[in-house]
Amino acid sequence: MKRKDMHPADIIAAFKKKGISLAQLSRRVGLSSGTLGNALKRPWPKGEFIIAGALGKHPADIWPTRYYDRRGRLLPRENLIRRQRSVATDRAEDEDITAP
């Protein structure tokens, strides 16, 4: 039997039970208020991991259709999360800005 994704209203209700809104969580992790809401509507691995972690779950428990293939194997979606790097770090690697 195929598992269904958690309904967005149920995810929001789970946050209300914890006494926090999705917008508050977004701001706590340095995103704008509505950013994490995007993960409720469309796949976004980074947002999914933030939401799931705040609820004490793995994203596959909330969005099984995004995390399992047709054969029921767990997909390694963590690999899809882009590693954020600061502009300063990128510049430092491109040119030696520490030299006098």
Please report the pLDDT score of residue 95 as a whole number: 39
Concatenated DSSP letters for the chain?
A: -PPPPPPHHHHHHHHHHHT--HHHHHHHTTS-TTTTTHHHHS--HHHHHHHHHHTTS-HHHH-HHHHB-TTSPBP-GGGGSPPP--HHHHHHHHS-TT--
The CA distance from 33 to 12, in Å, is: 14
* 93 contact partners, CB below 8 Å, separation of at least 6: none
Domains and CATH numbers, the chain: 8-94 (1.10.260.40)
Tell me if 62 sits within 8 A of 51, measured CB to CB: yes
Please report the pLDDT score of residue 15 as a whole number: 97
Give pLDDT < 70 ranges for the chain.
1-2, 79-100
Question: pTM of the prediction?
Answer: 0.74
